[in-house]
Amino acid sequence: MGSVEDFPDRAMTVVEVDGTEVGVCRWGSEFFAMRNRCPHQGGPVCSGFLQARLAGRCTAEGVEMEATPGEPVILCAWHRWEFSVRTGESAWDPRYKVRTYPVDVDGGRVLVRVGRGGRDG
């Protein structure tokens, strides 16, 4: 796939693995991989905006938004649907899920297992 240095921190890099477009995300010391196809309308989900998940809570003063640094999400480039990079699940409807793939780092190389090792979405 590539060396760890080929994947900038807090960024999604789209690569081709066995004929499939896959987005590889480096988030600190963790790596995640997901198919570059949104389950909504087939858009290039990995070309979207990567960020920490935002969570809201109601207070007496109104709604407060807070970032969850350990939970990276991608907002699809077409319609801004939000998906967990870790699980592929939609933030608002678990019936929508992007396929994710296991990632290993071995000897400074990032390896993505596509095919039977993927988790359906």
Tens-place pLDDT, residues 42-72: 999 999 999 988 776 777 888 776 767 788 9
- List Cα–Cα distances, 36 to 7, 14, 31, 103, in angstroms: 16, 8, 15, 15
Q: How many domains does the chain have?
A: 1
Q: Which residue segment(s) compose the domain that 31 sits in? A: 2-112
**46 within some domain:** yes
The average pLDDT across 70-93 equals 92
pLDDT at 105: 96
Whichever domain contains 75, its CATH number is 2.102.10.10
pTM: 0.84
Tell which wins on pLDDT, 94 or 99: 99
**95 within some domain:** yes
